[in-house]
Amino acid sequence: MDNRSKPWHGVMVATALPLREDLSVDYDRYAEHCRWLIENGCDGVVPNGSLGEYQTLTPGERIKVIETAVEAVGGANVMAGAGAYGAAESRRWAEQAAAAGCGSVLLLPPNAYRADERAVLQHYREVARAGVPIVAYNNPYDTKVDLTPALLARLHEEGLIVAVKEFTGDVRRAYEIAELAPELDLLIGSDDVLLELAIAGAKGWIAGYPNALPQSSSALYRAAVARDLDTALPLYRSLHPLLRWDSKTEFVQAIKLSMDLAGRHGGPCRPPRQPLTEEQAAVVRAATEKALAEGLR
């Protein structure tokens, strides 16, 4: 771990959620996983994100996941997912995260419909009333709402957000965001553009593949933000066949399979997610086994 100046900086792992064969949540195993990530070079965890299958959890399960993470690694190291269909519900999740001691929350824009700019602004204003630092999450592929650099600058100017998880894969946005909102922290949101966004000035990485390979992933991030390309580029090339799964529809299943192969518990997913096809699993398995054989951990 490094000395982060803000709770949302550094390698923040969007944690996969261990499920038993009956698809109940294994909270003890989740706590152990959170601690293991910190022990192996990561800075914090992001529970109740898409990788944590939050859409399939009951309200009680969501609360217990946050409490488990906070107890395991300390609230300052937890960025709680606060995604919900309505602003009032997202605000309640942000209030729960604040009460649990979380250092920040990760907040999607309205995602039940294609919200316009006025709706997006009101959504973030409502959740900001919870009083916990908000990291905006820009994923227009799944939400159909694009938090453009100009809109992010407006959200930041109003004091509503402290950072953005940028998932578009368009690395050009890093420079426009820096021009329009120089104090807004850019967080890498997609594993397969880590190097490009780190070089562009990212302050953190909301990461998927450290769930399986935390040491090598953290080493890659540290080298990339230090602009040590001699170290970063070979690691990036070795990890990229896996990192690119983070931006595919089957990212949860792929990362969980890699976890299983790396000796962790990935396990099943809740419906409606289905297991990988044989062809998909073969690709993930081959890439993971190659990385492990090369000594990546």
CB-facing half-sphere around the CA of 278: CA atoms within 13 A: 0
Q: Which two tokens stand for residue 126?
A: 């409502």
Given 27, 54, 124, 137, which residue is catalytic?
137
Q: Rg of the Cα trace of the chain?
A: 18
165 among known catalytic residues: yes
Given 27, 54, 124, 165, which residue is catalytic?
165
For helices 278-293 and 251-261, angle between their N-to-C axes, nearest 10 degrees:
50
CA distance 185 to 188: 10
What residues have CB less than 8 Å from 277, skipping those under 6 apart? none
The DSSP symbol for 249 reads T
50 close to 14: Cβ distance less than 8 angstroms: yes
Active site members: 137, 165
